[in-house]
Chain A
Amino acid sequence: MSLTRVQCERFTAFEKITVDFSPGLNVFIGANGTGKTHLMKIAYAACDISKTKLDFAEKLCRVFLPSGMALGRLVKRQKASSRGTIEVHRAEGKLRVSFTNHTAKADLATVVGAADWCSRPIESVYIPVKEMLSNAPGFRSLYSQREVHFEEIYADILDRAYRPSLRGPTDSERWKLLTTLQKAMDGKVLIKEEEFFLKNKQGNLEFTLLAEGIRKLGLLWILIQNGTLMKGSILFWDEPETNLNPKMYGELMEILLRLQRSGVQVFLATHDYVILKELDLRKNLSDKITYHSLFRDDNGQIKWQPADRYLDIHPNVIAQAFADLYDREVKRTMGWSAE
């Protein structure tokens, strides 16, 4: 059920790009403005409509939030009229949408393959950079009743978080993942009247009193506990490192690797060396990891270069930043700058 490819032509920052995915763990790296988040949002929108049956173009609008909800504004900007297209592939087929820069509303776009695509729904989760659980009470009803200017990924993640627990006993793999997370955040998550609490020996702590990093771990705990992240589902996580102490990265990456081993397809976008290195040091030979390097070529076009091993990532903007730091450090050590 995993996604195999996203193809874009003249969409947002992309002129033309094809990105092939690993069925396991996919890690996007690249400088700001190279489209990491955009690729994940496209893929997520396609997964989400397979369950909600919403129009793909409409979901793209809600996820990207172009001004005035004018879909045409998502076509890559250029002087002449132009048409943008997106294709999302999986083994069982593909979903395609195309529209021009003059397309004012989503229902004027051409969507192909939606009926077949939606006949095999994909469970998916998109964890955005900004933490939402602490702002959850009231946000969902506000979002559903009023025109609030929030990308829909924020409302969607709360919908997933509020799902009730799965029936029946917790299987051993899920139990292990939950236990690891409970140890890391020192408690379990409790939902009371739409409010999230961390329940531990001290009592019930409101999420607003917790560090943002702990809230993120809490969200992951909920998604595993309520069965949203199970075999066949897809997790998108934009910059998991945000607000998390690097000491916690290792355990978090271990959990993502284990989710991948249990059949969850995982997508990450990161700017962090420690995240990459933790994955590199913790992966098994059987793990399916693809690093996707996104970069601008000499003409300013965004290109894609995949690698299966950390050291083969090229270009690696994160390593380049460290190489620059290292060279300056050594030069200072040798007193070269003073000579």
Chain B
Amino acid sequence: MTILAEGNLQIAVPAEAKPRKFDDFTHGLTHCMKTVDFIIELNNRYLFIEFKDPQHPDSRQRDRDKFISRFLAGNIDEDFKYKYRDSFLYEWASGKIDKPIYYFVLVALDTLTEAELITRTDALKRVIPVDGPPSGRWKKRIVAGCAFFNINSWNRVLSDYPVSRIPT
């Protein structure tokens, strides 16, 4: 099992998976390309993973509230969109797009309800865009699927990749 950390959060990845931190110094283009936090390679797919931690113990209530209202209003969707697309482009240029990619965004906020998660997931699908143009011109999908999670729903659905706070 490998443990990857991002700020105050950590994810445990099973031994058979190949995880890597994507936004570290080895990327080399972070000055012009946005990045997801992790990429996990499985035998039949890639998982692009982004963590947002508005409930970080050191965060200020004011910043937390601001994030919540921006997130629920869809004002951060663009950020999540470009993180994915730039990461996809980087991996494509590296010749590594050889399996379907799933994009998962964890927003570590206890108060996020499933109703809000499903609404934001639908919005993210539209902006990436998951299904391509209505004409059906795209021969390949740029993402197989995407979804927002809070820590509870992540650990419920992705129980093989449990997320937790780093003990202080």
Binding site for B on A (CB under 8 A): 273, 277, 311, 319, 322-323, 325-327, 329-335
Number of interface residues of B (CB under 8 A): 17
Closest to B143 in A: A333
- CA–CA, A329 and B121, complex, Å: 9
- CA–CA, A333 and B125, complex, Å: 10
- CA–CA, A325 and B146, complex, Å: 15
Q: Which residues of A contact B118 (CB under 8 A)?
A: 322, 325-326, 329
- Residue in B102, B113, B115 whose beta carbon sits within 8 Å of that of A333 in the complex: B102
Asked if B157 is an interface residue, CB under 8 A from chain A, the answer is yes
Least Cβ–Cβ distance between B103 and chain A, in angstroms: 9
Asked if B43 is an interface residue, CB under 8 A from chain A, the answer is no
Q: What are 24 A-B pairs at a CB distance below 8 A? A: A277-B113, A311-B113, A319-B114, A322-B113, A322-B114, A322-B115, A325-B114, A325-B118, A326-B114, A326-B115, A326-B121, A329-B147, A330-B147, A330-B149, A330-B157, A331-B157, A332-B145, A333-B102, A333-B145, A333-B147, A334-B102, A334-B147, A335-B144, A335-B145
Least Cβ–Cβ distance between A70 and chain B, in angstroms: 43
Interface residues in B83-110 by Cβ distance below 8 A to A read 100, 102
Asked if B117 is an interface residue, CB under 8 A from chain A, the answer is yes
Q: SS class of chain A's interface: helix, strand, loop or mixed?
A: helix
- Asked whether B153 lies within 8 Å of A326 as measured between CB atoms, the reply is yes
- Asked whether B111 lies within 8 Å of A311 as measured between CB atoms, the reply is yes
- Asked whether A330 lies within 8 Å of B144 as measured between CB atoms, the reply is no
- CA–CA, A334 and B145, complex, Å: 6
Least Cβ–Cβ distance between B149 and chain A, in angstroms: 8
